[in-house]
Chain A
Amino acid sequence: QKEVEQDPGPLSVPEGAIVSLNCTYSNSAFQYFMWYRQYSRKGPELLMYTYSSGNKEDGRFTAQVDKSSKYISLFIRDSQPSDSATYLCAMSALRDDKIIFGKGTRLHILP
């Protein structure tokens, strides 16, 4: 079993819809959880960063962490065509530890 599992998609949704992206993980030591957005042929851009369980909101983005289920989610409200990208979940056990990434989910927002 891989440490981090993420459905690669592609996921296509109409503009304005709510998008739900998810990852599961197997390592209970993970405490730091991140979501990155990566446009084609670019480096990943940090979107959300959370520590331990709970919710975090930033504009149209909400990150949720459920450590008991080893499950994290990213919600995008009022999705826009400019949100079309690959979304990578990532996590680490310690503050200055290596980050383990999921494979990424390709998201297409249809105008």
Chain B
Amino acid sequence: GEDVEQSLFLSVREGDSSVINCTYTDSSSTYLYWYKQEPGAGLQLLTYIFSNMDMKQDQRLTVLLNKKDKHLSLRIADTQTGDSAIYFCAEINGGTSYGKLTFGQGTILTVHP
């Protein structure tokens, strides 16, 4: 079945860039997502990328997709303390399991002042 893996922890200083990495196994993934979970809250969609794209930029966020290596990354420029949260990578195979996302285990980002 599908599998999505992420490193568990990332610690950066305020103002630096953060890069969160994700690998997935389903070569038929149609969309890949980054969700953010703040303490005591549900997940919130940050951004997503179609599988036929290499890169997507949205303000401070840059998503890079290497489809050959099945590797997805999220770069946060000028990281702020408010960016401290858990970040989940997720994928969907629109052809066979519409609506059903597979999530990674989440990366805990800690931003130090």
- Asked if A and B are interacting partners, one says no
Chain B interface (Cβ < 8 Å from any Cβ of A): none
Chain A interface (Cβ < 8 Å from any Cβ of B): none
